[in-house]
């Protein structure tokens, strides 16, 4: 039995920053994550992708952000159970909780914070009959290491931020030898500045932009060789490709969390914005896994949510103690 003050389910950026905030209040944390390393999607899906909306960083790679958060929380010696998904939660007579993983590892704490991000997820695959034949042979649903595409011909499909950002990144940094972006509409769902940048790069010849079109077939032998694109006006277009990268987002699911008796709304955990507590006292939900009016799924919002949740957790663990806010600029970290 692993005993701690706060069990954090999810070791993504929000969970990692919560370790720091809890440490300032002398609360110990233990994190559980189904992935084999900390960082959540930032480590697993896009470690080399730049993030632009973290305060104090004009740009920071997702993987570097995770490393910085690990370093920030290190003085408070968090524990980790990695590669094991949390499966059950049981409330005890003393008001504490026991969280068990799929491998049977048990954790006990008076507070549980769910920071599971999007939860269990899988990529949305386009309805292309031949796509299964080329998975791991040229078809990539996520980009972990852009160096894989060095000198390669890449066809990206999608109209959201991920498709736009990766098209820009692979072309702008001269990683892929050719970048083709295919989208079924003439309008995009991504940020306007990214849309404009893609259009400008297409005008200058750095990206081949094909709109009002869809990838309908893939061809090749032992690996992908060609992508067939069906255009609404120009008919069938066949282009050489080493990689086809459909970036249509992820299908999120709460997984076992949905069976824990929590109030669920739109596949997310409903919380009270006073302290991001759930309908079960002692359980909080922070980051992308929660929902409330005017919710924004941003890392920086998750940092705020975790900070307030920790303050509430302290009051629950130590009802007779008064928490006086101390500033790290005055006390440093070792002063807490």
Residue 296 lies in a domain: yes
Q: What is the pLDDT of residue 335?
A: 61
Whole-angstrom Cα distance, residue 31 to residue 10? 6
Q: First CA to last CA across the chain, in angstroms? A: 27
Which residue in the block uniquely carries the two structure tokens 């972990």? 144
Looking at the structure, tell me whether residues 187 and 293 fall in a common domain: no
Token duo for residue 220: 């090749």
Looking at the structure, tell me whether residues 116 and 134 fall in a common domain: no
Residue 205 lies in a domain: yes
Looking at the structure, tell me whether residues 28 and 94 fall in a common domain: yes
Strand bridging mode 97-101 / 106-109:
antiparallel
Q: What is the pLDDT of residue 128?
A: 96
- Per-residue pLDDT of the chain in tens (336 residues, 90 and over written 9): 999 999 999 999 999 999 999 999 999 999 999 887 899 888 877 788 899 999 999 999 999 999 999 999 999 999 999 988 899 999 999 999 999 999 999 999 999 999 988 766 667 899 999 999 999 899 998 887 899 999 999 999 999 888 999 999 999 999 999 999 999 999 998 889 999 999 999 999 999 999 999 999 999 999 999 999 999 999 999 999 999 999 997 776 788 898 999 999 988 999 999 999 999 999 999 999 999 999 999 999 999 999 999 999 999 999 998 877 776 766 666 665
Whole-angstrom Cα distance, residue 110 to residue 28? 11
Q: Residue 29: left if φ>0, alpha if ψ -120 to 50, beta else—which one?
A: beta
Closest CA to 86 of 216, 295, 250, 256: 256
Find the CATH number of the domain harbouring 293. Answer: 3.50.50.60
Looking at the structure, tell me whether residues 8 and 115 fall in a common domain: yes
Boundary (domain end) residue, out of 205, 224, 246: 246
329 is in an annotated binding site: yes
Q: What is the pLDDT of residue 123?
A: 78
Looking at the structure, tell me whether residues 46 and 156 fall in a common domain: no
DSSP string, 202-230: HHTTSSEEEESEEEEEEEESSSEEEEEEE
Quote the Cα angle for 331-334-336, to 5°.
65
Helix, strand, or coil (residue 24): helix
Residue 164 lies in a domain: yes
Looking at the structure, tell me whether residues 129 and 111 fall in a common domain: no
Residue 336 lies in a domain: no
Q: What is the pLDDT of residue 32?
A: 96
Token duo for residue 25: 């209040």
Looking at the structure, tell me whether residues 208 and 139 fall in a common domain: yes
- 105 in Cβ contact with 113 (< 8 Å): no
State the pTM of this model: 0.66
288 is in an annotated binding site: yes
121 is in an annotated binding site: yes
Domain carrying residue 87:
2-121+250-331
Closest CA to 27 of 322, 336, 245, 260: 336
41 is in an annotated binding site: yes
Whole-angstrom Cα distance, residue 309 to residue 305? 6
Looking at the structure, tell me whether residues 234 and 255 fall in a common domain: no
Boundary (domain end) residue, out of 180, 214, 246: 246
Question: Dihedral (C-alpha) 192, 193, 199, 202: value to the nearest 10 degrees?
Answer: -140
Boundary (domain end) residue, out of 191, 226, 246: 246
Residue 163 lies in a domain: yes
Q: Number of folded domains in the chain?
A: 2
Measured CA to CA in angstroms, residue 170 lies from 125, 158, 189 at distances of: 21, 15, 20
Closest CA to 198 of 163, 174, 233, 227: 163
Q: Residue 267: left if φ>0, alpha if ψ -120 to 50, beta else—which one?
A: left
Looking at the structure, tell me whether residues 240 and 130 fall in a common domain: yes
Residue 317 lies in a domain: yes
Looking at the structure, tell me whether residues 116 and 149 fall in a common domain: no
Looking at the structure, tell me whether residues 60 and 74 fall in a common domain: yes
259 is in an annotated binding site: no
The upper half-sphere exposure of residue 113, i.e. CA atoms within 13 Å in the direction of its Cβ, equals: 39
Closest CA to 22 of 81, 119, 109: 109
Residue 91 lies in a domain: yes
Whole-angstrom Cα distance, residue 203 to residue 314? 56
């Amino acid at each position: 039995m692993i005993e701690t003050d706060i069990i954090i389910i999810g070791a993504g950026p929000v969970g990692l920053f919560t370790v720091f905030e809890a440490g300032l209040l002398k609360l110990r944390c233990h994190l559980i994550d189904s992935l084999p390393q900390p960082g959540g999607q930032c480590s697993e899906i896009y470690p080399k992708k730049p993030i632009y909306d973290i305060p104090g960083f004009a740009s920071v790679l997702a993987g570097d952000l995770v490393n910085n958060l690990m370093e920030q929380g290190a003085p408070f010696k968090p524990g980790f159970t990695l590669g094991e998904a949390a499966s059950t939660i049981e409330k005890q007579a003393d008001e504490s909780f026991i969280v068990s993983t799929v491998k049977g590892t048990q954790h006990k704490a008076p507070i549980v914070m769910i920071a599971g991000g999007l939860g269990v997820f899988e990529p949305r695959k386009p309805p292309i009959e031949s796509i299964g034949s080329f998975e791991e042979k040229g078809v990539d649903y996520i980009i972990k290491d852009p160096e894989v595409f060095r000198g390669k011909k890449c066809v990206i499909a999608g109209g959201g931020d991920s498709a736009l950002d990766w098209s820009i990144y692979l072309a702008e940094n001269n990683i892929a030898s050719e970048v083709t972006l295919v989208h079924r509409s003439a309008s995009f769902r991504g940020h306007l500045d990214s849309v404009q940048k893609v259009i400008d790069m297409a005008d200058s010849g750095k990206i081949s932009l094909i709109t009002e079109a869809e990838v309908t077939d893939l061809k090749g032998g032992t690996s992908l060789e060609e992508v067939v694109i069906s255009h609404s006006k120009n008919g069938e277009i066949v282009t050489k490709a080493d990689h086809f990268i459909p970036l249509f987002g992820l299908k999120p699911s709460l997984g076992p969390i949905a069976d824990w008796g929590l109030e669920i709304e739109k596949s997310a955990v409903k919380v009270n914005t006073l302290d991001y507590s759930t309908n079960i006292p002692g359980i909080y939900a922070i980051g992308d896994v929660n929902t409330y009016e005017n919710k924004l799924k941003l890392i920086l919002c998750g940092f705020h949510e975790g900070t307030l949740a920790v303050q509430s957790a302290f009051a629950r663990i130590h009802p007779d103690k008064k928490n006086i806010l101390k500033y790290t600029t005055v006390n440093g970290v070792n002063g807490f």
